[in-house]
């Protein structure tokens, strides 16, 4: 006899679970607790098996019968409904692990395992997890080029053209990783090639006039803020190292006896070690602030703690306090100042490039130049430090300037 909703509603729990049959293998199991569960018994390949369809009334009588008929159709076609159910569950689990966000997590973990720079990882997380958040829960195989382009265009129209282009490249790297791990078959970012506007190139402001640079050096000498800020600015001018390399410089990186600063590959932009010859003036400056890092190891600690480096904004904030706008000078500008003035004065461009730690695409030439130009770089850094002392002398003090110039020429 087939079941009815009335009969199911009236069914009460007993001391032992019991079944209410609807025929053709479908029955309702009434538990001692009172819960009522739909079950379907069948035989496949000579073996008895069972499927559960859920609980009543969440699954109604009509829905349970529809599920039974679907299962019987599969059996008639020689398909085991239980195997189909397992495959569907696997598909749901696989889809959950193949979302864009999940694959981003995997890719970032791989980058971290491969010892990518902390700043690079932080930037990648911001781009892929924050800016690309609308894609996070989407199965990667379902994401379209139009969907990606819409996201990128929204960023582009906010004025962040370079950010949009970088995000496009990183999204492409996520898809390429998904392809090699067999979770995607194509990279839809390829279809967006040429769809974004070219970024507006904004060169970092720098003072390249010798007289004006001298004025800046005097302003730094007179700066009355936290002493390590002024010292770090001077050190940056002397070494033309990158601001991040100076901010996070550690005592252990310096060999004061050999007058060299060795920056590990983890801390350089080009991901290769860089050695900086230290001029007499650079060594004197380090000696003057060395005691400030007695217990922390950071050469230019912040005002908050000798175990914390100066903040990323400390240099530019000091320059603004001295009266220099962002259109006039930036922390990165010291590198451009040195490069421009030294090239103008006729110093060897290859030696200047080696001192700036610019990447040479030819690895053998890079290694060769690093060894070949070391003596020239030592001399260059001392010449540059002496030039900075010369620039620092006011034009009103002609006697001192002439004496300094004569010393330079000797």
What confidence tens digit (pLDDT) does each residue in 371-408 have?
A: 568 899 999 999 999 999 999 999 888 888 888 788 77
Looking at the structure, do residues 328 and 364 belong to the same domain, yes or no?
A: yes
Classified as helix, coil or strand, 158 is: coil
Token code pair at residue 239: 């070494």
- Residue 364, pLDDT score: 44
Please indicate whether residue 242 is annotated as part of the active site: yes
Domain-embedded: residue 205: no
pLDDT recorded at residue 403: 82
In 189-329, alpha helices (H): 210-221, 227-239, 243-247, 280-289, 314-321
Q: Please count the residues of the chain.
A: 410
* Annotation says 368 is catalytic: yes
Same domain, 73 and 178: no
The catalytic position among 269, 272, 320, 372 is 269
Catalytic residue check, 251? no
All residue ranges of the chain with pLDDT < 50 are 361-366, 368
**Is residue 182 left, alpha or beta, with left meaning phi > 0 and alpha meaning psi from -120 to 50?**
left
What tokens appear for 26 in the block?
């479908």
Report the greatest alpha carbon distance in the chain. Answer: 119
Residue 200 domain-assigned (yes or no): no
Residues 181 and 224 in one domain: no
65 is catalytic: no
- Verify that 123 and 233 share a domain, yes or no: no
**pLDDT the model gives residue 270:** 60
Q: Are residues 356 and 271 in the same domain?
A: yes
Spot the catalytic one: 67, 332, 373, 377: 332
Range of the domain at 75: 5-92
Residue 252 lies in a domain: yes
Same structural domain, 258 and 383: yes
85 and 107 co-located in one domain: no
Q: Note whether 227 and 322 are same-domain residues.
A: yes
Examine the domain organization and report whether 245 and 380 are in the same domain.
Answer: yes
Question: Do both 31 and 180 map to the same domain?
Answer: no
What single-letter DSSP state applies at residue 56? E
Res 361: pLDDT: 46
The verdict on whether 165 is a catalytic residue reads no
Catalytic (active site) residue 27:
no
| pTM score, whole prediction | 0.55
Task: Determine which one of 242, 247, 267, 377 is catalytic.
Answer: 242
Which one of the listed residues 204, 258, 358, 365 is annotated catalytic? 358
User: Domains in the chain: how many in total?
Assistant: 3
Report the distance separating Cα 337 and Cα 344, nearest Å: 11
């Amino acid at each position: 006899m087939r079941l009815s909703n009335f009969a199911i509603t009236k069914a009460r729990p007993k001391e032992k679970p019991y079944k209410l049959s609807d025929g053709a293998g479908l029955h309702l199991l009434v538990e001692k607790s009172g819960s009522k569960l739909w079950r379907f018994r069948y035989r496949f390949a000579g073996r008895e098996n069972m499927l559960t369809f859920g609980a009543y009334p969440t699954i109604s009588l009509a829905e349970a019968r529809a599920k039974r008929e679907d299962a019987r159709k599969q059996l008639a076609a020689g398909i085991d409904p239980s195997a189909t159910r397992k495959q569907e569950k696997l598909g749901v689990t696989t889809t959950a692990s193949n979302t864009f966000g999940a694959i981003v997590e995997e890719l970032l973990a791989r980058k971290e395992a491969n010892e990518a720079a902390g700043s690079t990882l932080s930037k990648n997380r911001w781009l892929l997890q924050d800016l690309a958040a609308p894609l996070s829960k989407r199965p990667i195989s379902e994401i379209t080029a139009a969907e990606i382009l819409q996201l990128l265009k929204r960023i582009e129209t906010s004025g962040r053209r370079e950010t949009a282009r970088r995000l496009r490249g990183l999204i492409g790297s996520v898809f390429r990783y998904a392809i090699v791990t067999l979770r995607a078959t194509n990279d839809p970012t390829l279809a967006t090639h040429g769809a974004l506007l070219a970024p507006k190139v904004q060169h970092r402001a720098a003072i390249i006039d010798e007289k004006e640079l001298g004025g800046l050096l005097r302003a730094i000498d007179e700066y009355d803020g936290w002493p390590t800020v002024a010292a770090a600015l001077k050190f940056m001018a002397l070494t033309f190292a990158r601001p991040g390399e100076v901010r996070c410089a550690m005592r252990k990186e310096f060999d004061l006896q050999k007058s060299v600063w060795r920056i590990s590959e983890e801390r350089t932009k080009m991901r290769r070690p860089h050695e900086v010859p230290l001029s007499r003036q650079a060594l004197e400056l380090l000696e003057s602030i060395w005691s400030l890092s007695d217990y922390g190891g950071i050469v230019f600690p912040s005002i908050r703690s000798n175990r914390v480096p100066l903040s990323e904004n400390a240099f530019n904030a000091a320059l603004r306090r001295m009266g220099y706008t962002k259109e006039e000078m930036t922390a990165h500008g010291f590198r451009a100042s040195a490069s421009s003035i030294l090239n103008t004065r006729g110093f060897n461009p290859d030696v200047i490039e080696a001192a700036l730690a610019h990447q040479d695409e030819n690895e053998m030439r890079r290694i060769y130049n690093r060894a070949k130009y070391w003596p020239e770089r030592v001399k260059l850094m001392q010449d540059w430090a002496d030039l900075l002392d010369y620039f620092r002398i006011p034009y009103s003090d002609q006697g001192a300037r002439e004496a300094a110039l004569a010393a330079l020429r000797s």
